[in-house]
Structure 1
């Protein structure tokens, strides 16, 4: 799985729904809360701790918010992607 959005501008574009034709995973570093305001389709929100272990997975519909106190990072996945399971570890590899 490739992850996109390395900067704030990319995150903003995703939030405004400009990538709806080809939704892509987005890793939000240092973010433990998420909202789906202005997002037209549901997404998977995967909350990760400091070791990149999955602490919670939610299917968020548009216009919802969630904050996960145990999380340090958040991974947004399009609804078509299969999310990792709680307890799984993710590895970030830069190519």
Structure 2
């Protein structure tokens, strides 16, 4: 039975064809999405120190927490070994 025959007979295909072009449902975001993280005072202090040391190594006035977290997420999503390591760490902490 052809597609035209199905339409004439009121029969719809069991599985819809995959779209050939990407599409978005609803409105797409033009801006970034914010995430927050709760750190202990010791973690916060250690991260501040790390950022200052990184800025010194890079010859910059400062490296922001935002830059660090974006770089970490990019690495996490692109490095399977790091992803596995993070999953192990999360599992161990639960």
TM-score, scaled relative to structure 2: 0.24
- Choose between structure 1 and 2: higher strand proportion: 1
Q: Looking at CA atoms only, which structure, 1 or 2, has the larger radius of gyration?
A: 2
Higher helix share: 2
TM-score with structure 1 length normalisation? Answer: 0.23
